[in-house]
Amino acid sequence: MALRFLPLLYLATGLVAAFQAHQDCMVKNMIVETNIMFDSLDFYSLVYPGEHNLTASIVCQSKSEYDLLTFTTNNVTLKRSRSDNNNVYHSVPPQVSGWTRFRLGLLKMLTVHDGNGVAWLPDVSLNCTVSEVTIKNGNLTGQCSSNNPTWQVRGNQAVDILFVNPMDNLNFGEKITDLTLFSMKNYRPSFNVCGAELKLGIRNGSLAMSTGAPPEPLPPGSLRLALTLLHQNDQTILKVENEGMELVSTKLSCDPRRIRVRGSISDGKADVLLLVQHLHPYSVVSTGKDDDSCWSTSAVVGILVASIIIILLVNLPIRFIIFPKCGHQHITRRNQQISRRRPTRRLAQSSPPVPSYMEPTNIVITPEKPEPKTHLIVLHSCSDSSHGEPIYEEVGEVMNMNSLCEYMDTNAESCMESASSSDDN
C-alpha cells in the first residue's frame, strides 16, 4: 500500500536538492541600511590576503554629523565629524583571510568586532542617534546564515574564489573549495588557475573539463563541483570532481591561493551565471553566539518535510488496519458492561422491558428470610440469545409465584405450569 506513495516520496526528497539563491547571501559591492531600528549590524566581507580596503560610514540623524571607518590590512581608522569633536582613532587589526564576519554596534557606543569576538577598534561613544549606515568597497553580503555567498556573473565577468585550508591555513597538505553553478540557459564557464585555463562543458554526451578545445555548452540547471589542491612530491595537483566523479586532475605550475571563475557570451549575448561558494565551518570566521550551518534553510526544511512524509506513509496503513478493530472491540465490551449494569426495576411496573435471554427450564427463587427484606432472584428470558449470563434484580419482598409470572408477562401460562410442577416436587 505504501508503494502508491513513492512518487510523493521522490517529490519530497527533490525539495532537498532544489536550488535556491538567498538574497541575504548575494555578493555586492555596497550595503546600505536606512531607518535604523536595530542596535547592531552583521555583515560578511571577503578579505583577500594583502588586499583589504573596506569603508563604513555611520550617519547621525542631523546628517551633518557622521563617523567614517576605514579597514585595511594593517590599520583600522575612525575619523569623526562632529561639531565639537574631529578626532581620529587608529587600531591594528588581527590578520584574517577569507570570508570574515563583522558586527557593528550602533547603540550608544560604536563598536567593531569580528566573528571571534575580537575588537577591531576601541569602543567609542556615539553621542548621537544613528539614522543610516553605508558599507562599500569589496565583496560583501548580509548575515547570510546559510554560509553560501553567491555571485551573479554576467558575460565575461570573473570572480576570484579563495582556496581554504582545512586546518586554519596551516600547511595541512591540501586546500579545498566547493562550488555550485546555476543558469537558466545554456552556458560555458571556464576556470583559470596558475595561467592554465580549464573549460567545462559536455563532450560525447558526458560532463567534461579540459584545457583543450572548448566542449559543448552546459544545459540549464545546477552543477556541483569540488575543487581540491593536493601537494605530492613537491608538486601541486588540482583535482575537480562532480558528485564523486573525477573530471580532471592536472599538475599546476604554482601553488595558488585562489581560482578565477569566468562566465561566457553566447550568440553575442551575455550569459547569466550564479556562482555559489559553500563555506565549511573552518573556512569562515563566524560569531560564537550564532550556530551557522553550511546547509541552507530550504535544504533543512526539505529534509524535515521528507521525513514527515516518510513517517506518515509508514504509519498510516498500520493505523487503518489496527485501529478499526480496536474500536469495534471497545464498543462490544462497552455494550456488555452497560447490559450488566442495567438500573434496578420494580416488579410492580406496568410495562416491564422484554428480557433478551433464553427461555428457562426452572425458575429459582431465593428463600424468604426475615432480614434483610431485599433478595436477589435469577430471571431467565424466554427469548433466544447468544449470551448465557442471567440478569440479577433486587426486589423488596419475596413474591408469590403468581406475581412473578405476571412480571415475566411473556409465556405466563407455561410459567405457571412450571411453578405447579415445582410445588408438587
How much is the pLDDT for 324?
A: 52
Residue where a domain stops, chosen among 106, 141, 176: 141
Q: Does the residue 311 lie in any domain?
A: no
CA angle centred on 411, ends 405 and 416, rounded to 5°: 45
250 and 160, same structural domain?
yes
Percent of the chain, pLDDT > 70? 62
109 and 31, same structural domain?
yes
Say which residue, 259 or 364, is predicted with more confidence.
Answer: 259
How much is the pLDDT for 417?
A: 55
Q: Residue 165 maps to which CATH number?
A: 2.60.120
Q: Does the residue 304 lie in any domain?
A: no
| Containing structural domain, residue 393 | 342-425
Interval 206-249: pLDDT, tens = 999 988 888 899 999 999 999 999 988 888 999 999 999 999 99
How much is the pLDDT for 130?
A: 94
Q: Does the residue 58 lie in any domain?
A: yes
Q: Residue 45 maps to which CATH number?
A: 2.60.120.560
Q: Does the residue 172 lie in any domain?
A: yes
Q: Does the residue 37 lie in any domain?
A: yes
pLDDT band for position 416 (cuts 50, 70, 90)? low
How much is the pLDDT for 184?
A: 94
Q: What is the b/e burial string over 139-166, where b = at least 16 CB atoms within 10 angstroms of the residue's CB?
A: bbbbbbbbbbbbbebeeeeebebbbbbe
How much is the pLDDT for 273?
A: 94
Q: Does the residue 5 lie in any domain?
A: no
Specify the range with the lowest mean pLDDT, choosing from 100-104, 113-117, 184-188, 345-349.
345-349
Percent of the chain, pLDDT > 90? 39
Residue where a domain stops, chosen among 116, 141, 166: 141
Residue 164 is classified by DSSP as B
Interval 40-59: pLDDT, tens = 999 999 998 888 889 999 99
Q: What is the b/e burial string over 81-106, where b = at least 16 CB atoms within 10 angstroms of the residue's CB?
A: eeeeeeeeeeeebeebbbbbbbbbbb
Q: Does the residue 412 lie in any domain?
A: yes
pLDDT band for position 9 (cuts 50, 70, 90)? very low
Q: What is the pTM of this model?
A: 0.61
How much is the pLDDT for 109?
A: 93
What's the whole-number mean pLDDT along residues 107-125? Answer: 91
386 and 361, same structural domain?
yes
The pLDDT of residue 255 is above 70: yes
What's the whole-number mean pLDDT along residues 111-127? Answer: 91
Count of domains in the chain? 3
106 and 162, same structural domain?
no
126 and 57, same structural domain?
yes
Q: Does the residue 208 lie in any domain?
A: yes
Question: What is the β-pairing status of strands 28-34 and 98-105?
Answer: unpaired
Interval 276-321: pLDDT, tens = 999 875 444 443 333 333 344 455 556 777 778 877 776 665 555 5
